[in-house]
Amino acid sequence: MDPSTFDWSQFTRQALYNALLEHTAILGQKQILIRDFQKCLRRFFKPYPIRVRSTRNKIVTANEVYVGGGYFMDDDYDGLKPIEIVFNFCPKETHIDIDETNWSNICLLITDVVLHEIIHLKQYRARKFKTKIGYASQAEDPDQREQQEYLGDRDEIDAFAFNLACELWDRFGDDFEQSTSWLDSDLWLEDPKSQLYHYMTTFDGDHTHPIIVKLKRKTLAYLPNIDIDKPFRTRRYLTY
């Protein structure tokens, strides 16, 4: 597979999720060796220009898998695999217990991470791999300032808005009013896994903060795209 000629527009949320669920079914629902989990996911992504990496992270507890990702502009420019998926496991564990619900959640999370990174790929290709000025936080606390500058970046707002739109679709389907109402409420406090929770806690729970306003506006703009199951309606910048 030549990464430089790969058509990224072929990925849809439902198709990728279904394929992951079918592929991982070979492992069953039981105590699974972490090394078998790793091998299974590497085999799945081998036909695609997506690399897979695993690591141990002390913030991960037993029977948990944290899924992260990254897009690498230089690799994309050089025609190499530009997207990486990272699986984080508990440092002390050799097995994880996974049932049907766990598998479903993990496969959906992997799917959303992949689509998030494809959005970044499209962003950089659209501006011919040029960098841009980021968001400058005014927070006094250095940790909060770092997180605000990350989440406040225009590219991240765009990508996380799609992830949040997917959350809303999973909750409310095509009920735009319910989605809008939830975004404007404080129900995010009840869901620490929500993208809105991460944004609101980072920006002091302020619904009027310019970054939160941008995130909501972009999220609602993405909602009509969820019915086509991907964050883009054309192949532009997704294939050479």
Q: Quick check: 29 pLDDT over 80?
A: no
Query: How does residue 27 score in pLDDT terms, banded at 50, 70 and 90?
Result: confident
**Is residue 62 predicted with pLDDT exceeding 90?**
no
Q: What angle do CA 26, 66, 45 make, to 5 degrees?
A: 45
Per-residue confidence at 88, pLDDT binned at 50, 70, 90?
A: very high
Between these two residues, 240 and 85, which has the higher pLDDT value? 85
Q: Looking at residue 44, what is its pLDDT? A: 95
Whole-model pTM?
0.94
Q: 3-state SS string over the chain?
A: CCHHHCCHHHCCHHHHHHHHHHHHHHHCCCEEEHHHHHHHHHHHHCCCCEEEEEEECCCCCCCCCEEEEEECHHHHHCCCCCEEEEEEECCCCCEEECCHHHHHHHHHHHHHHHHHHHHHHHHHHHCCCCCCCCCCCCCCCHHHHHHHHHHCCHHHHHHHHHHHHHHHHHHHCCCHHHHHHHHCCCHHHHCCCCHHHHHHHHCCCCCCCHHHHHHHHHHHHHHHHHCCCCCCCCCCCCCC
Note the pLDDT of residue 153. Answer: 97
Whole-number pLDDT of residue 240: 67
pLDDT at 110 over 70: yes
Residue 199 backbone dihedrals phi, psi, to 5 degrees:
-70, -45
Q: Above 90 in pLDDT, residue 210?
A: yes
pLDDT of residue 99: 83
**Structure confidence at residue 226 as a pLDDT band (50, 70, 90):** confident
Mean pLDDT in residue range 14-19:
94
Which tokens in the block code for residue 123? 């962003």
- Give the span between the Cα atoms of 184 and 90, in whole angstroms: 36
Between 3 and 86, the more confident residue is: 86
Average pLDDT, the chain: 93
pLDDT of residue 109 exceeding 90, the answer is yes
